[in-house]
Structure 1
Amino acid sequence: MAKRRRRKMKLITKLIISFLSLMIVLVGAYFGRHAYMNYRLRMEQQQTIERQAKEKRDFIKRVAPEAQRMQAKYHVMSSITIAQAILESNWGKSQLSKEDNNLFGIKGTGANSKLFTTREYVNGQWITIKGRFKVYDSWDASIADHTRLMLEGTYYKSDNYEPVVKAQNYQEAAQALQDANYATDPNYAQKLIQIIQTYDLDQYDR
């Protein structure tokens, strides 16, 4: 009787040990998979961050040479030109910049323009409007026309952007653009300044 009881206890002990071992394996597998999934997620996020950072560096490298060429000839600061291109085109990803090479949202008329939907800040709120915007053969052409706009002004005021061209630093130039109503965004100047400082764009002014 005692032997039978001992055998039964041994069997129960083995079953308990087997059950606990299985639970340990299952729990380990669960947490191991969870840790692996978290690792993969972190890696994918890091890769996304690195890819986006590279895309931004590539965009700056692509537009900087023409911006610097325009600065050398006409004194429109490269940092301002690059920052505007970034802000207005969302790093070259906007439909207008991808399809029509218009980096700055410059409006136009006639055959070399296209009807496009955009947002503007009017009477204290953002509204959606339709307008005609210029079409260019290349981003360089867009940058050159942006410089021309700074030099020649608008049809209603030829010296509208003169303070931008004569600015002594990018902070003055950014504020001059806002004062000249280049964009309807009330925070336009601060956004340009922040972009310039974040990506050290003033290095292209030297």
Structure 2
Amino acid sequence: MAQDLSAQGRLGFAKLIEQQLGRNMPSGSSFDPASSLAALQQSLIQQHAANSAVLPAGGAERVRSAPAMSNESAVADASGSSSDFVNRIWPHAVEASSAIGVPPQFLVAHSALESAWGKSEIRNVNGSPTYNLFGVKAGRNWHGPSVEVKTTEYVNGVAQTAREKFRVYGSYAESFRDYTNLLRNNPRFSEVLGQKDGAQFSRSLQQSGYATDPMYADKLSRIINGATLRQALAG
């Protein structure tokens, strides 16, 4: 792209490069367009690779990718969508909280991370909701309905795209009950139960293998302690 732009003179690209690089060139140095364009091209490639690496969170066994967020409120707009989301699911979070000993706001935050505050919920092929707020996969032990969607998984720290089947529920209440059963009935989640500290709850989920994204715990902790959740709960 850099070579094409400079060769055709679009936007004065070569001149801009010369001016920019010339600011940092020692006095008496000559400008070499070929080497400068090569350096620019390499920079563009590196930038593209870096941007591509910032991919959504993914799950090792049972979750789809969580939406990528630069901060805890990236997916919550000023229209009150986060408050609407919390109002829809709060009663179910309270019920699940009493079953697993975790504050309901932690469960709201977890569902917000996995569903982008309800904006990126898994959908059936016809567009109808699956009510799957926690990205739970439909493994061999699942005998209910399911839907196949594209997801991002991290394998040895490398993001990979795959198609996986996910559970379909009849309501948010059913989604929370299944999530509760997942945490209570699987021994590997024993450290998650009863957590009262948001950061430790987040770390315990990641350490138990709930998700493979190396930044998963950090993302969840930021939502739990962030202004978006506090404002939504207050509303």
- TM-score of Structure 1 vs Structure 2, range by shorter chain: 0.5 to 0.7
Q: 1:134 aligns with which of 164, 167, 190?
A: 167
1:107 aligns with 2:133: no
State the match for 1:183 in structure 2. 211
CA distance in 2, matches of 1:163, 1:60: 26
Deviation at 1:124, TM superposition (A): 2.1
Deviation at 1:76, TM superposition (A): 3.1
Deviation at 1:125, TM superposition (A): 2.0
State the match for 2:55 in structure 1. none
CA distance in 2, matches of 1:172, 1:95: 26
Find the residue that maps to 2:191 and give its secondary structure. helix
Deviation at 1:184, TM superposition (A): 1.0
Deviation at 1:131, TM superposition (A): 1.1
> Given the two structures, how large is their TM-score scaled by the length of structure 2?
0.58
CA distance in 2, matches of 1:49, 1:73: 31
1:118 aligns with 2:139: no
CA contact (8 A) 2:102 2:196 kept: no
1:151 aligns with 2:184: yes
Find the residue that maps to 1:165 and give its secondary structure. coil
Q: 2:119 aligns with which of 82, 93, 102?
A: 93
CA distance in 2, matches of 1:99, 1:61: 17
State the match for 2:67 in structure 1. none
- One-letter amino acid matched to 1:152: N
CA distance in 2, matches of 1:123, 1:181: 13
- One-letter amino acid matched to 2:150: T
CA distance in 2, matches of 1:85, 1:192: 10
Pairing 1:59-78 to 2, within 5 Å after superposition = 59-78=85-104
CA contact (8 A) 1:77 1:165 kept: no
State the match for 2:202 in structure 1. 174
CA contact (8 A) 1:164 1:177 kept: yes
CA distance in 2, matches of 1:166, 1:57: 26
Structure with more contact order per residue of length (Cα contacts < 8 Å, sep ≥ 6): 2
Deviates more, 1:124-133 or 1:69-78: 69-78
CA distance in 1, matches of 2:194, 2:130: 30
> How many residues of Structure 1 are paired with residues of Structure 2 in the alignment?
149
CA distance in 1, matches of 2:176, 2:112: 12
CA distance in 2, matches of 1:185, 1:113: 24
Report the structure, 1 or 2, having the larger helix content: 1
Q: In terms of Rg, which structure is larger?
A: 1
Deviation at 1:101, TM superposition (A): 0.9
Pairing 1:43-82 to 2, within 5 Å after superposition = 49-51=77-79, 54-82=80-108
CA contact (8 A) 2:184 2:193 kept: yes
- One-letter amino acid matched to 1:146: Y
Q: Percent identical across equivalent pairs?
A: 33
Q: Which runs of 4+ in 1 moved over 2 A?
A: none
Q: Unaligned 5+ residue runs, structure 2?
A: 1-75
CA distance in 2, matches of 1:132, 1:93: 20
> Given the two structures, how large is their TM-score scaled by the length of structure 1?
0.66
Find the residue that maps to 1:160 and give its secondary structure. helix
